[in-house]
């Protein structure tokens, strides 16, 4: 019997936390199994880190601190980063199968979950994911955003809804210490907004915020926080939640505390509404308002319609009700759940059988739920199954380390590298240090994809 070769070649599609964690764990487990492994981490963007770079609000540097840990993993030189490469266009599944023993998809969930109500597609109605990409300087989003509304509605009761509302309500000058690009600052500085309303279908005890996200709303300069007594109706299930869950207890105490605080006369207001189910976005040719039906508690954690309808005149609506994964060419996809069908990370075909050599991890595997910490456990589950499949994987062929790069060069793909990212990273840090408006600013993001690629590919930084 011919012994299995010692070197495993794996491609990971997606260089966010899910992909990086999978690569780091894969390296450890394969070595423990007595083999070596070559891991190539591909991303459609020129820079790594995925939603940590392009999905976290710029005024949340504590969350972006996870970048330090991810950077250490890539600095270890056990994972090769190859950016600005689009799966399905620059590389096909056939290409990957020819060059690797296994492929792990870690493409995440970057689309807005749909809200099916009349008028949701009127001009002035937006998905939160697109707005987040804009204020985070995503290279594939236009530089300008239509910020022309004085009154705005944000639908959703999760952290993304709070991020969107906070960025809309905050004065642009209070974001100058962050890494926002000049185009984002200019857009926010010109916003005429006075009132931002956040609406949730359930009650205050059922929100999906985290306590720290909620509490920081009270610290926004020149923004009054407004809550409404009629949204705080008591029910037995909410009381049980408060008694049994410390996080719920903290948030409920915070929200109830705001009921007793009078507005201070700030120039902007951020309103939190509960027990409101969206019914319709209305307007003649563009958003002019949004209609809700009031809900009430059912006593078991749910809510039901009351028949009471209320309208709010607004000129913009942002839906922040969750993310959704995107289908990938030649890869099975569950259109209902927005995920790649899988069994513990092994990709399944239409018959429910595992497809040898294909795996998934992160939100494209389990859906857009859980925090970054859950991503590690998720990656471990997937990689454990991959390692269990080593005898089958080694039975297939694989290319060489430089063959995939030669293929990309032959196709004219201007791929970027880890050394290239280090050059871009240093450039953005330099831009921050040279900012005369805000001395000591850490970073200013480069937005243009072409500029990112140019900086990343200069000075012979393609050594791999």
Long-range contact list for 66-71, CB < 8 A, 24+ apart? 66/17, 66/372, 70/17, 70/20
Contact 415, 85 (CB under 8 A): yes
349 CB-contact burial (10 Å; exposed 0-12 / middle 13-18 / buried 19+): exposed
Question: Which residues does residue 354 pair with via DSSP β-bridges, in sequence order?
Answer: 348
The answer to whether 160 is a known ligand-binding residue is yes
The helix or strand, by DSSP H or E, that contains position 324, with its residue range, turns out to be: strand 323-324
Residue 429 in marked binding region: no
Beta-strand runs (E) in 128-200: 151-155, 195-199
Do 164 and 154 contact (CB within 8 A), yes or no?
Answer: yes
Ligand-binding site membership of 8 (annotated): no
| Proportion of the chain in helix, strand, coil states, percent, rounded to 5 | 35, 20, 40
Q: Is 331 annotated as a binding residue?
A: no
What does the radius of gyration of the chain's CA atoms come to, in whole angstroms?
Answer: 24
Question: 418 a known binding residue?
Answer: no
The answer to whether residues 175 and 220 touch, using CB atoms and an 8 Å cutoff, is: no
157 is in an annotated binding site: yes
290 known ligand binder: no
Burial of 440 (0-12, 13-18, 19+ CB in 10 A): exposed
246 is in an annotated binding site: no
Q: CA torsion, points 350, 352, 358, 361, in degrees to nearest 10? A: 110
363 labelled binding-site residue: yes
Q: CA 21, CA 174: separation in Å to the nearest integer?
A: 34
51 is in an annotated binding site: yes
Instruction: Say if residue 172 carries a ligand binding annotation.
Output: no
- Residue 412, by phi and psi: left (phi above 0), alpha (psi -120 to 50) or beta? left
Residues of the binding site for NADP(+): 157-160, 201-202, 213, 370
Residues of the binding site for FAD: 18, 51, 363, 370-372
Residues of the binding site: 18, 51, 157-160, 201-202, 213, 363, 370-372
């Amino acid at each position: 019997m011919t012994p299995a070769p010692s070197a495993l070649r794996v491609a990971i599609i997606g260089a966010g936390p899910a992909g990086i964690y999978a690569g780091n764990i894969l390296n450890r487990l394969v070595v423990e199994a007595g083999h070596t492994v070559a891991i190539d981490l591909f991303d459609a963007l020129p820079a790594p880190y995925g939603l940590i770079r392009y999905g976290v609000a710029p005024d949340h540097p504590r969350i972006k601190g996870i970048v330090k840990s991810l950077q250490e993993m890539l600095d270890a030189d056990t994972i090769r980063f190859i950016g600005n490469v689009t799966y399905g266009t620059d590389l096909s599944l056939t290409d990957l199968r020819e060059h690797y023993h296994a492929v792990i998809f870690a493409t995440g969930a970057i689309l807005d979950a749909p809200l099916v109500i009349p008028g949701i597609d009127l001009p002035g109605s937006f998905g939160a994911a697109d707005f987040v990409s804009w204020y985070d300087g995503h290279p594939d989003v236009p530089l300008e955003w239509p910020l022309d509304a004085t009154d705005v509605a944000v639908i959703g009761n999760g952290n993304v809804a709070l991020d969107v509302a906070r960025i809309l309500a905050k004065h642009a000058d209070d974001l100058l210490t962050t890494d926002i690009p000049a185009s984002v600052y200019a857009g926010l500085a010109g916003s005429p907004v006075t009132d931002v309303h956040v609406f949730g279908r359930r009650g205050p005890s059922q929100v999906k915020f985290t306590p720290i996200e909620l509490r920081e709303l009270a610290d926004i300069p020149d923004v009054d926080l407004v809550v409404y007594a009629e949204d705080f109706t008591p029910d037995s299930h909410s009381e049980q939640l408060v008694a049994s869950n410390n996080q719920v207890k903290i948030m409920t105490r915070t929200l109830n505390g705001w009921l007793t605080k009078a507005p201070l006369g700030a120039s902007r207001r951020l309103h939190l509404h509960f027990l409101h189910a969206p019914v319709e976005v209305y307007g003649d040719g563009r958003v002019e308002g949004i209609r809700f039906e009031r809900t009430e508690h059912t006593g078991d954690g749910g809510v039901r319609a009351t028949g009471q309808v209320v309208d709010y005149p607004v000129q913009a609506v942002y839906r922040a009700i969750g993310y959704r994964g995107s289908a990938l060419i030649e890869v099975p996809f569950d259109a209902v759940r927005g995920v790649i069908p899988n069994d513990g990370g092994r990709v399944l075909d239409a018959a429910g059988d595992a497809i040898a050599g294909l795996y998934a991890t992160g939100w494209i595997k389990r859906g857009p739920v859980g925090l970054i910490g859950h991503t590690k456990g998720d990656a471990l589950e997937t990689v454990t199954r991959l390692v269990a499949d080593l005898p089958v994987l080694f039975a297939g062929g694989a290319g060489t380390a430089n063959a995939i790069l030669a293929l990309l060069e032959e196709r004219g793909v201007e791929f970027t590298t880890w050394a290239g990212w280090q050059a871009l990273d240093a450039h953005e840090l330099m831009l921050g240090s040279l900012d005369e408006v805000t001395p000591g600013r850490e970073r200013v993001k480069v937005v243009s994809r072409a500029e990112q690629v140019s900086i990343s590919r200069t000075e012979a930084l393609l050594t791999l």
